[in-house]
Amino acid sequence: MKLDFKKQLDTYSAAFGTFSTVQVPDLNYLMIDGHGDPNTSPVYADALAALFPLAYKVKFLSKAEANDYVVMPLEALWWSQDMASFTTDRDKSRWDWTLMNMVPDWITQQHLDAAREAVARKATGTALNQVRLERYREGLSVQTLHIGPYDDEGPVLEAMHAFILAHSLQLTGKHHEIYLSDVRRTPAPRLQTILRQPVTDVPAEAG
């Protein structure tokens, strides 16, 4: 039986036009870091070209062990020294990022090492060696579904931050996006992206 974690984990669904709080479980990911505009940076392109061949090879290694699953969508953490670069300025050249692909708990470093060796026989580039397996803790978060071009996210993020403050929460951790649509096959107005922001309760004032 092929497991589809998008259907098993409610954190991989969100409603359009509303913000909701969710408790995100600790999950394992294939991860690779970089910096710069994802539309123009060769580092981003190289990272993407390394991540998914490894993700699919890991999946097939797991399937051979009778643990089959659906490869999860691309995800990314985004951050910058200046939060305005995400909301009002949208200056992508100043962005840092981590591309991610969620994998089941039973995937080990041995799976990744074997996948890396197999993919390296057919592909070149140092980015393969930069992909790591890491458990990521996010916890309490606010998320929503954005429909449309990525460049239209700014007002949604501003509204999300206002929602967080209005509900006595504060931003913590890194902005997280889950790309439910394949950008190669989906027109920009129909792209579906989960926008997520980890939060924490604002401590009550003493006295």
Could you list the mean pLDDT of each consecutive 10-residue stretch along the chain, which spans 207 residues? 94 97 98 92 93 97 97 95 62 88 98 96 83 97 97 92 96 96 94 97 62
Q: What is the pLDDT of residue 200?
A: 96
pLDDT at 95: 86
The predicted structure's pLDDT at residue 39? 87
**How far, in Å, CA of 149 to CA of 133, rounded?**
30
The pLDDT of residue 126 is 75
- The per-residue pLDDT for 206 is 45
Specify whether the CB–CB gap between 57 and 121 falls below 8 A.
Answer: no
Looking at residue 7, what is its pLDDT? Answer: 95
